[in-house]
Amino acid sequence: MKKLGIILVLLCSFALFPNDEVEKLESINKHIKRVEARLNRLDKEKKSLLKDMAVIELQRSKEVSENRKIKLQILTKRKEIDTKKSDVKRLKISINNSRDNIAQALRVLYKLGRSAYVKFFTKVESINDLFRNYQLFAALVNYKSTEIENLRKDVAALNRINRELQLDIGNLEVLRRRQEEKIAHVANLKRRKQILVDRINNDKRQHFSLLEELKAEAKSLDAMIKKQGLVSGFPPLNLKSIKGKLRWPLAGKVISTFGKKKSTQFDTYIINNGIEIRPQGSDSIRALLGGKVVFADYFKGYGNLIILQHSKNFHSLYGHCEKMLKKNGDTIKDGEVIALVGDTGSTYGKSLYLEVRKDLKPQDPLKWLRKR
């Protein structure tokens, strides 16, 4: 029975959505397909800590998107139910009116008696009276027949809508249960991610392993950006005039700085190509400068990552995003919100990973950001 209910809901999900929600549904479905494709590619990779983290986070992203889809389906189903309830109310009023009208017509015909036709024909004094009385009688009989037919149609429509309404209410309950399941799955995946992060942060061997993996992924990111190349067509940018004057992407505390840093816990050195900022207040991430999105996707070790190109030789990178609000190819204005801060790909918890690159080489972001 449970499987049957789920099948019914899935079938209903293909019903017509309101025009303003069709694009949302299509966008969600596309995102789910992209995440599934990434998960399939990860299956072919050898086991690693970053792979384990990526699988958990991509599964969570998929569950969150499917939950958004269910929310959209619930909203649409509720609107359909409200519309049908209004139809039921209207039909009940129409049925009651038809019954009253039919009853009134029957009372008139009853008063005329079985010899109604004879009375109409015998109590006329002229051809005009005969024609007029016949028309009145015929109209009365026809009116009764029309009302009866309308009543029959309304009753049939009411029964049909009531059946559909009960099915819709049942489907809505199935959707609510599926939504609860998705929420539980997301919470479970968050716990799994935290267990993995705690193990990495407290186990020296795991910590070393992660550092090696992060080095490899940093090289992969370099290769990806270099393969993309220095795209031309951007307006010239006077880098000297903006150095030390760029806006901060969000308010917060810098918890990890640029360059070679020593980990006191495990007596190891970490090389950071960027900085980590723990947000304070708003979770909105703003572009350092106007530019174009040249990458917006999940990248192992960086989580949800957005790369902006501002000029031929100047880029900024924003990692660990919870939600990316822009897509590849979008043109971005100075200070425009591009994402929400999160913890994807992070062992620091909720934070923003920020890189600034000149001629594809990482620079210390603090030297480019304005003093505060």
Distance CA 45, CA 52 (A): 11
- pLDDT at residue 98 in the model: 79
CB 182 within 8 A of CB 67: yes
If we measure between CA atoms, which residue out of 276, 305, 270 comes closest to residue 200? 270
pTM greater than 0.75 (yes/no): yes
Domains and CATH numbers, the chain: 2-201 (1.10.287), 233-368 (2.70.70.10)
**Nearest-angstrom CA–CA distance, 369 and 366:** 5
Res 109: pLDDT: 60
pLDDT at 113: 57
Rounded CA-CA distance 220/226 in Å is 10
d(CA 35, CA 59): 8
- Cα 243 from Cα 367, distance rounded (Å): 7
**Tens of each residue's pLDDT in the chain, 372 residues:** 444 444 344 444 444 445 567 888 888 999 899 999 999 999 998 999 999 999 999 999 999 999 999 999 999 999 999 999 999 999 999 888 878 877 776 676 666 555 555 554 455 454 454 455 555 555 556 656 777 788 788 889 999 999 999 999 999 999 999 999 999 999 999 999 999 999 988 888 888 888 888 888 988 998 888 877 666 677 788 889 999 999 999 999 999 999 887 766 666 777 889 999 999 989 999 999 999 999 999 999 999 999 999 988 899 999 999 999 999 989 999 999 999 999 999 988 899 999 999 988 999 999 999 988
